[in-house]
Chain A
Amino acid sequence: MFSRTYGAAIQGIDAILVRVEVDVSDGLPGLELVGFLASEVREARERVRVAIHNTGIVFPPKRITVNLSPADVRKEGTAFDLPIAIAILTAFGHLSQELAEQTIFAGELSLDGRINPVNGILPIACCAKENGFSQIVVPVENETEARLPGELDVCGCEKLTEVLDFLRGGVRQEHDRGSGAEAIERAPDFEEICGQRAAKRAIEIAVAGGHNLLLMGSPGSGKTMLAKRIPSIMPELTREESLELSKIYSVSGRLDHVDTLLKKRPFCAPHHSITQAAMAGGGNRPKPGEISLASHGVLFLDEFPEFERRTIELLRQPLEERRITVNRVSGSCDYPASFMLVAAMNPCPCGAFPDRRVCRCTQNQIRKYQGKISRPVLDRIDLFLQVAPVDYTELTGKGKEESSTEIRGRVCRARELQQRRYADAGILMNAELDTKRLEKYCFLQEDGKEMMRDAFYRYNLSARAYHRILKVARTIADLDDREQIDTMHLAEAIGYRRRENE
């Protein structure tokens, strides 16, 4: 007897529909699985057989062939246990073929017939919705996640028998899973940082224009504190962004027990010992790396020069294209990587430069230290900022500081301005302006041109540095709600340029 049901395979952060076909025939008894399967999928053979047996259903001595189609897509993970079991039971005649074909299944089986949670339920549910399925059966732990795309009848099951009950008669077991209320955690807010007006201002500019940022400062000057609060002033995630982000987290198995899509912008701060694969994504079985997990949020690289050089170099492509393609023998995966890079470093080995009263580092040492980061990477950073050490009065002062909400209000207005301006250009933010568009959108008046000419020669600017200043000035003007960039905006932007240590 032949039967068919559906599951889904994860590819990148999306899922593609997989047809699970089962044929039961006479012959030498056995269970054969085919269809480009990873070893954990092949192991389903034992899990499925024992789980069915332990559910109290007799496993007849027949020749059973299972095919997962399309057979040229590699299937990984343990989510195929459940669809395979259901397809076999259908082929045995325990379920009607009609019921099995209307539903997508995902879940890992235990030998006692329990269903264990799996990763990547969100993309699978999205895939079910897109392919016009009305029902999805998932492990009970993944139930809330499967509801996120909406419009699907989700059945969370704890045991294989519950699935059978549901498919036969629509009987649902009520599960007391408690409310999936997120622990309410107060996000870090800029009002907790005393002083540092100049640094806050630079961060506001960076966020408003989507610029990458390099924070320099002596140890303990608050670089990390500042960086952690950047997501709090970024505009709220749009639904598309939120869905994409949730999918990335779902595929990585980090979307636990939530009942909504991710609403908070991520803040990823990998340690500098991180490997290239962990940063970019990959591994034998590709998984999203930190740069993807930081999508639509902040990738904070503290102690920037301490990162392995090649790890930093691989940021070059994602910084431009906002995605990354991970190629492995077993196939290639495309992950989104649209993050804001915030790097932090000491200005010199001792950290006190330019305070020469404390800093005894030689110019050579300083140049060598700062030179650990290659130019191509620096070229993708628009704002350079040196954070002042905090002094005592500030530390203990009780001055009223601006809250993140207020700053976010200004950032959002500036972003709206940009979106309106670039509606036809196909970009969203000033940081994405290329040379051709720069001329069009960063028009300078005579005094501005004079100023830039002067700065160009005075500071020996490269063409790239020159363009960066214009882009940043554009953002400053947007924050000021001006269409015309004036000398005040330019002067500030010039202040954020990179200093070449003579």
Chain B
Amino acid sequence: MNSFRKEKPYWYWLSLLEEIGPVSRRILSDYFSTAEELYHATDKLLKNVPLSDKIKAALLDGKRRRRMEDEFHKLAERDIYFVTKAEPGFPQRLRDIPDSPDWLFYRGELPREEVPSVAIIGARECSVYGKGVAEKLARELAQTGIPIISGMARGIDGYAGRAAIRCGKSYAVLGSGVDICYPMENYSLYEQLPGKGGIISEYAPGSKGAAWHFPCRNRIIAGLADGLIVVEARKKSGTLITVEYALEQGKDVFAVPGRIGETLSEGCNELIRQGAFMITGSIDIVEELSKRYTLSQKSEKNIKNKFFLEQPEKIVYAYLRLEPKNVEEILKEVDFSLPELIKILYSMEKKGIVYSPAANYYALAEPDIE
């Protein structure tokens, strides 16, 4: 244990050197057994290592640049934790994946080993349908005690994360440092996550997140989850990169089916054609996971949570769809006056059944799965 503590600042120092990627690290590990050795490596020792001069210079220069001990101890003050692969606290799920990260930074906590977790990912520019499905699945799974892993990206990721922390846990894997919120629009989620799960990144605090970080972090999303749910994806979508990782790691991939001709569902439908599990409700996932984990009976019941609707609300409910409808359209179908209809819609919105994306537009907040 003591050795870890002594080693850690050196690992931290290595994580700060952005020039040194995983490939260089693997080469270096052939010549130096610990990060501490590497830190103290002299010009002469590095001479034989088959790395470019630029990287060697970065290594030598890094020592002068960084007062790593001080910085390392300041991490804790900022509620940022650092765990290396050598420590027992490192997530077991990530140990065996290809290109396993050498360390993780996190705020909040890491997912617990004995609890199954599910990743929900999908298009950034999602439809209202996708939003509804993502929120419903995330909420129901979180209620069951299954934490939701996502990338905190705009669209599906963010909606799933937000829905999950309302009644359970969620973890976000970032492509930037854990002290940086990207995208800004998910700031409220970012703020809440450390208390309701965690924020995880393999990049050092302060890292702005280069474009290539984002596909890389997807392997951690897939790695931390036992199953991967794709809610909406176009034919050529970044989401499919995560699916590739999940398949490579031998994880289950679940896809939410969509209508034919719906470009936002083409990716999902294609996945189903290729053999992904097709899901129509969170129960499908729970059943699949309960083959491997014991899930409490009570939580399964939670899923079939039905709202209490009053008679006029039931009438209006029948005419609502997942795609937003203008009140104009609904008025033609129901026998209420405009103010009455708006009152009914408002009370349904209050119950969380209806969602209004724009003035006079209403949609079902989530699909009716029964």
Q: Enumerate chain A interface residues (CB-CB to B < 8 A).
A: 195-199, 201-202, 216, 347, 353-357, 360-364, 384-389, 391, 454, 458, 476, 487-489, 491-492, 494-499, 502
Contact = CB atoms under 8 A, between A and B. Distances in A.
B338 interface: yes
Contacts of B338: 197-198, 201, 492
Interface stretch (B87-95, B104-112, B322-330): B322-330
A195 B343 contact: no
A495 B326 contact: no
Contacts of A364: 154
Nearest to A357: B323
Nearest to B355: A354
Contacts, number: 97
Contact of B327 (A198, A216, A354, A384): A198
21 contacts: A199-B328, A216-B359, A354-B324, A354-B357, A357-B262, A384-B359, A385-B360, A386-B358, A387-B326, A388-B329, A458-B350, A487-B343, A491-B346, A492-B338, A492-B342, A492-B343, A495-B342, A495-B345, A495-B359, A498-B359, A499-B357
A488 B339 contact: yes
B191 interface: no
B125 A360 contact: yes
Contacts of B363: 354
Contact of B346 (A195, A354, A356, A495): A495
B127 interface: yes
B18 to A, nearest CB: 27
Given A202-B360, A357-B127, 7 more contacts: A195-B332, A356-B264, A356-B323, A495-B342, A498-B359, A499-B356, A499-B357
Interface of B: 124-129, 154-155, 185, 262, 264, 323-324, 326-329, 331-332, 338-340, 342-343, 345-347, 350, 356-361, 363
A454 to B, nearest CB: 6
Contacts of B360: 198-199, 202, 385-388, 495
Contacts of B358: 216, 347, 353-354, 386, 499
Nearest to B343: A491
A492 to B, nearest CB: 5
Contacts of A199: 328, 360
A476 B125 CA distance: 37
A388 B359 CA distance: 10
| Nearest 6 interchain pairs by C-beta | A388-B326, A356-B127, A491-B346, A388-B328, A354-B357, A491-B343
A262 to B, nearest CB: 34
Nearest to B331: A197
A355 B323 contact: yes
Contacts of A388: 326-329, 360
Contacts of A384: 359
Nearest to A495: B342
Contacts of B124: 362-363
A491 B264 CA distance: 34
Contacts of A347: 358
B185 A363 contact: yes
Contacts of B155: 363
Contacts of A502: 185
A499 B350 CA distance: 16
Nearest to B259: A357
Contacts of B340: 488
A389 B129 CA distance: 20
Nearest to A390: B328
Contact of B361 (A354, A458, A491): A354
Contacts of B264: 356
A353 B359 CA distance: 11
Nearest to A356: B127
Contacts of A497: 359
Contact of B342 (A354, A386, A491): A491
Contacts of A198: 326-328, 331, 338, 360
Nearest to A497: B359
Contacts of A495: 342, 345-346, 356, 359-360
Contacts of B324: 354-355
Nearest to A389: B326
Contacts of A387: 326, 360
Contacts of B262: 357
Specify which of B339, B357, B360, B361 lies most central, judged by the most chain A CB atoms within 10 Å of its CB.
Answer: B360
